[in-house]
Chain A
Amino acid sequence: MAKKVLEILTETMFYVLMSFLRQERCGIEIAEFVEQKTAGRVRMGPGTLYTILAKFEEEGLISEIRVEGRKRTYRITARGIEAYHEEISRLRACINDAESEGEI
């Protein structure tokens, strides 16, 4: 089995990927999505946002589709969707394991 380069999708990275599911977005729109979706629970610094976007683009999870002026718009790729679903499965497995342990 080939080693995954992105071995861990952190919570922030997961939400960034999620932001592309319904539509293509630019940087500020992603930050607004994450802020709204998590009701402010997940705070994303500007450096983190652009680092994640650069990494996702490098790994082929998103692709830049448009540059208008100096604003870049991205959309998720098939590989990105696959990575997102893999993370969903992993998180579900975690939840199931936790629920099977029952309440303390």
Chain B
Amino acid sequence: MSKSVRRWIPVSLYEIAGIESWLSDLSAQGLALERFGLYFAYFRRTEPCKMIYRLELLPRPMEEPDDEMLDFYLHNGWEYVTTLNRLFWVFRALPGTAEIHTDAVAQGYAYDKLSRKLKQSAIVVFAAFLLIAAMIAGIYLFSEWPVLQLVEDSIALNQFLLLLVELAAVIQAFRIYRAIRHLVRRLKSGLPMEHYGNYRRGRNVHVAASVMLSAAVIASMFFPIWGMKKNWEMPLSEVSSPLPLLPLDMVEKSPLFAYRSSLFQGKDHDNFVRYEWSVLSPVQYQIGQRGIVSGEEWPDHSGEYSPSMQIRYYRLISSALSDPLIDDLIYRYVERYYAPDNNFDRMKLSAAGLDRAELFTAAGRQILLIHAGNQVMMLRYYGEKNLAEYTDTLAGILARWSE
């Protein structure tokens, strides 16, 4: 009857009385402790026999008690079981065995040292939290386009998850320090340690918190890697799947129009599609288009007429982000670009199926921003046609992409 059984540890490892009570109760159910893992304790099945367990602070850095210690503990009725976290030895004995400690004040000196270390750790963890929080806050609070940055930044969520994890670590560090500090005061006043703790109260919260924290840590590592793997870029001509695209040749309406590629290091920098992913916008496209109309010139005769269009498309996780994103895009690509003279025209458009449509024009350049629900699109066009004529077409594109 020695099959290993595991149980989720119901309390923090520094809740000494709780751990001791839990182990003792399990021994009465026929589970004898073998060892501790990170989240679980491992037991072997035995005949039910109530044992008392004691967590003993290591007197010095060592993995196990040395032979002399083992003999002396055993001579006093205490069997060494395992070492917990390189911090505690775990002993067990039959009920009624004389306690391992007979001098509370002396025991208090040992916990005093631990208490000082925990205080230092708590301060370091808190300082780390403040540093991370300041760095993250600095990125977004001082950003001129925080929503745009959050939407496009594939590691934004990762940063916030790390911050949450760090905050949980701070809270836990100070809770543990307070508990040990309280224990030290008790011991130094001559009162012995309590060995009964209610591990049932708060067990579900402790387990849930452990699971959530672990999930947050894993997610913070997983999402950036997953995001990078999902991103891709290829020439526009090679994309066969549907795109949120207003084709440039449709806008130019000229049989003499032809797409023109500009290759550099094997990449087409004029006609391309880039797909990106972030938690706040799981679908993002950046599409570049450029062409020439043979035989035509720019109105100012500066050269052959070569219109271009860059499209940015975002499908957001919530439509609540759409307006703030458009505001940031306006600031980033219009107001800041044309500051301080602000010599651009702004026109609000309307079209069935669009929640918002604004067209900005300046010196041959047009920037059209639209959104429908959780989809946002920005078209930056350099050419002679009028993007305002295409709001219905774009509404239809967004309607198809919302399905």
Contact = CB atoms under 8 A, between A and B. Distances in A.
B107 interface: yes
A90 interface: no
A31 B76 CA distance: 11
B301 interface: no
A52 B68 contact: no
A45 B98 contact: yes
Contacts of A44: 102-103
Nearest to B56: A47
Contact of A51 (B66, B71, B109): B109
A69 B67 contact: yes
A57 to B, nearest CB: 8
A43 B101 CA distance: 10
B112 to A, nearest CB: 9
A51 B73 contact: no
B72 A55 contact: no
A49 B102 CA distance: 9
B73 A46 contact: yes
Given A13-B103, A70-B66, A46 B110 contact: no
Q: Is the interface of A mostly helix, strand, loop or mixed?
A: helix
A24 to B, nearest CB: 14
B313 interface: no
Interface in B102-140: 102-103, 105-107, 109-110, 113
A28 B113 CA distance: 25
Given A48-B107, A51-B59, A55-B110, A43 B102 contact: yes
B349 interface: no
A51 B110 contact: yes
Query: Looking at B59, B78, B109, B113, which has the most chain A CB atoms within 10 Å of its CB?
Result: B109
A36 B103 CA distance: 18
B98 A10 contact: no
A28 B68 contact: yes
Query: Looking at B78, B105, B106, which has the most chain A CB atoms within 10 Å of its CB?
Result: B106
Contact of B109 (A6, A26, A69, A70): A6
B71 A28 contact: yes
A53 interface: yes
B94 to A, nearest CB: 15
Contacts of A47: 54, 56, 99-101, 107
Interface residues on A, range: 20 to 34
Contacts of A8: 105
A52 B69 contact: no
Contacts of B59: 50-51, 53-54
Interface of B: 54, 56-57, 59-60, 66-69, 71-73, 75-76, 78, 98-103, 105-107, 109-110, 113
A22 B364 CA distance: 101
B100 to A, nearest CB: 4
A99 to B, nearest CB: 25
Query: Looking at B71, B98, B103, B105, which has the most chain A CB atoms within 10 Å of its CB?
Result: B103
Nearest to B188: A8
Interface string A3-44: 000101011110000000000001110010000000000011
A7 B79 CA distance: 33
A49 B72 contact: yes
Nearest to B68: A71
Contacts of A79: none
B100 A45 contact: yes
Contacts of A66: none
B65 to A, nearest CB: 8
Contact of A50 (B67, B69, B71, B109): B69
A72 interface: yes
Nearest to A8: B105
A51 B67 contact: no
A65 to B, nearest CB: 15
B66 A48 contact: no
Contacts of B73: 46
20 contacts: A10-B105, A13-B103, A27-B68, A27-B69, A27-B72, A43-B102, A44-B102, A46-B69, A46-B73, A46-B76, A47-B56, A47-B101, A47-B107, A50-B69, A51-B59, A51-B106, A51-B107, A58-B113, A71-B68, A72-B66
A35 B85 CA distance: 33
B107 to A, nearest CB: 6
A52 B103 contact: yes
A71 B66 CA distance: 7
Contacts of B109: 6, 51, 55
Query: Looking at A12, A43, A47, A49, which has the most chain B CB atoms within 10 Å of its CB?
Result: A47
Given A10-B106, A46-B76, A70 B100 contact: no
